[in-house]
């Protein structure tokens, strides 16, 4: 009897493995949903809508974007992790939900290292510190001096988001105090900076680029060590008066763990090819983001773990560990 059970189990595994190539060949036979864990208009949503038609063309089926904002992108990330592992529901987790939130939340409805099948790293986001232009703040030293005599608040795309953590990092490195005002997405926060309801925000670049050009917000510095290619006249925060400040968001496309390897391999190859297209790179760069042609699949889990370690340390030093 036991021998029969073992043989049956081996046969089932063999059949399942044998079906994987067929799954890849037949995939997809219907539309694919891409869950963006941010509200429309932000950096990740903007890149998703650049990639969307290219991926649909390569797959031969439509790609539908579904925005699920909230919880500093943890809600949409969790939805992607809990989807059926068949390649028809993909997610766009990023540094906020995969590297920052695990240190800030007491518990999460997903595990960044166990619940995902990473497919491709596709972009980096150099954030920019913007203020309402009506404020008497034209530089980082101005901001630091102003904060010492005025109560300031700052917006973010949600508790635990990069917008939030970069501001806390800035507070720790400059010694100033500011009050956090979380929003469901960065687009809403930016609108309130323009309207003067909140004075400042560490903004993702896509929605802030035109506002900077139109003078509706003032840019004080970018978060990365290198200057921003879309606006090289803006100094880095390191140059502007916060030595050593260096931070960037990132995002990838991933499926839930258990997605058949042939489908993961197919999507990895397709996404690398898309992100290497000159027109895609130009469109991404025009938004102020940095296009990334993904490293090999084997390196993606290592990258996630290294980012978790880095940002976990920042969260703990800011006293934010387990606060959500």
**Does a structural domain hold residue 275?**
yes
pLDDT class of 2 with cuts at 50, 70, 90? very low
Mean pLDDT, range 295-313, rounded to an integer:
95
Contact yes or no for 202/127 (Cβ under 8 A): yes
- CATH number, residue 85: 3.40.190.150
- For the chain, give the mean pLDDT: 90
- 117 and 143 assigned to the same domain: no
pLDDT of residue 5 exceeding 60: no
**Does a structural domain hold residue 8?**
no
What pLDDT sits at residue 43?
78
Condensed to tens digits (0 to 9), the pLDDT of residues 114-163 reads 999 999 999 998 999 999 999 999 999 999 999 999 999 999 988 878 89
The CA distance from 58 to 185, in Å, is: 30
Q: State the burial class of residue 287 (Cβ atoms within 10 Å of its Cβ: 0-12, 13-18, 19+).
A: buried
**Does a structural domain hold residue 271?**
yes
Domain end call among 185, 217, 240 = 240
**Does a structural domain hold residue 10?**
no
- 93 and 164 assigned to the same domain: no
**Does a structural domain hold residue 307?**
yes
Mean pLDDT, range 83-105, rounded to an integer:
95
Alpha helices, DSSP H only, in 214-277?
237-240, 261-275
**Does a structural domain hold residue 12?**
no
What pLDDT sits at residue 275?
98
Provide the number of structural domains found in the chain: 2
- 114 and 143 assigned to the same domain: no
Domain housing 205? 128-240
Condensed to tens digits (0 to 9), the pLDDT of residues 189-203 reads 999 999 999 999 999
Condensed to tens digits (0 to 9), the pLDDT of residues 178-234 reads 999 999 888 899 999 999 999 999 998 878 888 999 999 999 999 998 998 888 999
Condensed to tens digits (0 to 9), the pLDDT of residues 42-61 reads 778 999 999 999 999 999 99
- CATH number, residue 183: 3.40.190.10
- 146 and 224 assigned to the same domain: yes
User: Of the candidates 158, 157, 180, which has an alpha carbon nearest to the alpha carbon of residue 168?
Assistant: 180
- 313 and 301 assigned to the same domain: yes
- 166 and 200 assigned to the same domain: yes
pLDDT class of 16 with cuts at 50, 70, 90? very low
- 144 and 230 assigned to the same domain: yes
What pLDDT sits at residue 131?
98
Domain end call among 192, 209, 240 = 240
In this prediction, what percent of the chain has a pLDDT beyond 90?
73
- 140 and 40 assigned to the same domain: no
pLDDT of residue 11 exceeding 50: no
**Does a structural domain hold residue 1?**
no
- 113 and 161 assigned to the same domain: no
The DSSP bridge partners found for residue 182 are 156
Contact yes or no for 308/102 (Cβ under 8 A): yes
Condensed to tens digits (0 to 9), the pLDDT of residues 58-79 reads 999 999 999 999 887 999 999 9
The CA distance from 263 to 259, in Å, is: 7
User: Of the candidates 90, 85, 84, 116, which has an alpha carbon nearest to the alpha carbon of residue 33?
Assistant: 90
- 148 and 283 assigned to the same domain: no
Domain end call among 218, 240, 262 = 240
Mean pLDDT, range 265-275, rounded to an integer:
98
User: Of the candidates 102, 52, 95, which has an alpha carbon nearest to the alpha carbon of residue 316?
Assistant: 102
The CA distance from 144 to 55, in Å, is: 45
User: Of the candidates 236, 266, 244, which has an alpha carbon nearest to the alpha carbon of residue 253?
Assistant: 266
**Does a structural domain hold residue 192?**
yes
- 35 and 116 assigned to the same domain: yes
Q: Could you tell me the sign of the dihedral formed by the alpha carbons of 296, 298, 302, 305, in that order? A: positive
């Amino acid at each position: 009897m036991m021998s029969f059970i073992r043989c049956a189990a081996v046969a089932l595994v063999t059949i399942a493995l044998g079906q994987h190539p067929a799954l890849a060949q037949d995939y997809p036979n219907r539309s694919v949903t891409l869950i963006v864990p941010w509200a429309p208009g932000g950096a990740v949503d903007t890149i998703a809508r650049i990639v969307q038609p290219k991926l649909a063309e390569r797959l031969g089926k439509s790609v539908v974007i579904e925005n699920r904002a909230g919880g500093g992108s943890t809600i949409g990330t969790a939805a992607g992790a809990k989807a059926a592992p068949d390649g028809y529901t993909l997610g766009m987790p990023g540094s906020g939900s995969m590297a920052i939130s695990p240190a800030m939340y007491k518990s999460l409805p997903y595990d960044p290292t166990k619940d995902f099948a990473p497919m491709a790293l596709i972009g980096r986001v150099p954030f920019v510190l913007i203020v309402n232009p009506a404020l008497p703040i034209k530089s980082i030293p101005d901001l630091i001096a102003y904060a010492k005599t005025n109560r300031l608040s700052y917006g973010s795309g949600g508790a635990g988001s990069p917008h939030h953590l970069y501001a806390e990092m800035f507070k720790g490195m400059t010694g100033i105090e500011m009050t956090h005002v979380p929003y469901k997405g960065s687009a809403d926060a930016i609108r309130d900076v323009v309207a003067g309801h909140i004075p400042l925000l560490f903004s993702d670049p896509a929605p802030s680029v035109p506002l900077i050009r139109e003078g509706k917000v003032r840019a004080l510095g970018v978060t990365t060590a290198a200057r921003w290619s879309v606006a090289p006249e803006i100094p880095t925060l390191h140059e502007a008066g916060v030595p050593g400040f260096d931070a960037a968001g990132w995002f990838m496309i991933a499926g839930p763990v258990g997605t058949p390897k042939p489908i993961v391999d197919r999507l990895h190859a397709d996404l690398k090819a898309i992100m290497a297209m000159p027109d895609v790179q130009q469109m991404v760069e025009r938004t102020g983001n940095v296009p990334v042609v993904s490293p090999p699949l084997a390196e993606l889990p290592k990258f996630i773990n290294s980012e978790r370690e880095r940002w976990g340390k920042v969260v703990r030093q800011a006293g934010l560990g387990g606060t959500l």
